[in-house]
Structure formats: structure tokens, C-alpha cells
Amino acid sequence: MGQSHHVSQTSATQWLSARGVAYTEHVYDYVDRGGAAWGAESLGLVLHAVVKTLVMQNEASRPLVVLMHGDREVSTKQLARAIGTRHVEPCKPEVAQRHSGYQVGGTSPFALRKPMPIYVERSVLALDRIYINGGRRGYLLGLAPSVLDSLLQARPVDCALVSY
């Protein structure tokens, strides 16, 4: 398992702590474009349990967040259909950063700068434990997926493309 050493608080960890959520901290050396796969490999985690926080937008440029397994891609067609919008696409990095308040590669779904609808791939909620970004690059938090449902009101959707 990856070493767990304490990192100074982020907006995400402050938000979770204020709500009494128990989490573990997992720190690794961030690599540009390494993504969830690099984080999982560095920490000895199963990629399927590492959850990516993706900032996307609909045809009206309204932002939304999708939480997806590290080993899956989002089908924007299926997602658009599931949430009743015509079109969904990833935000440009600088736009995503403006909406979330986090640096791309360090985006957490907790304590977002702007309130945005959050969608979660349904099967993520069935995992025993998930590892999700803690608000900075190279920093994952291990926690129960029920937090996504109970505290974030993340809406379950089925929009994963098969493993790539």
C-alpha cells in the first residue's frame, strides 16, 4: 500500500472533516498526464477503485461533474441521454479550474468553488472503498462511496465505456 503521511489540509479535507467523514490519505508523486492509472500504480491500488473527478459541460456551457472509475471512460452520449441534455463535453482545463477552484489533476468533488450537479457511475457506489482526489495533485483520499450519495447528493448514472 502507498505510504500514508499527513498533508496540510485542502478545501476538500476541511469540508470532509467538518462533516465528520473518516478518510485515509494517500500521497504519491504526481506525473503530468499520468492520470488515475499512475496514481493507482504508485499506491498499489486497484485502478477500478480510483475515482476520477471530471468537469464537463452541457450544450449551454453549464458545468457538471462526473465521477468515474479510473479504468473507464465516460460515454458523453450515454451521459447526455441519462441527464436529459443534448450534448456533454469535457471542459477545457482553464474552464474546469475556474468552475471547480482546483488545479486540473488535483480536482476533488468536495468543496467545489461553484455548486454543480454531480453524477457518479452507478457501479462506483457498489465498491467497498474508493480513492478520490483530495484537492491537490498526487493526493488521494480513501473513503466509503456512500459519502458521494449522502453528502454530495451525486446522482447515479450508467455512462461508462467498456475498459480501454
pLDDT digits (tens, 9 = 90+) for 105-121: 999 999 999 999 999 99
Sorted by where each begins, the domain ranges of the chain are 11-38+47-157
The CA distance from 53 to 132, in Å, is 8
C-alpha cell at 120: 457518479
Q: What is the CA radius of gyration of the chain?
A: 15
Query: Does the pLDDT at position 7 exceed 70?
Result: no
Percent of the chain residues topping a pLDDT of 70: 94
pLDDT in tens, 50-64: 999 999 999 999 999
Cut 0.85: pTM above it: yes
pLDDT score, position 8:
83
pLDDT score, position 33:
85
The CATH code for residues 11-38+47-157 is 3.90.960.10
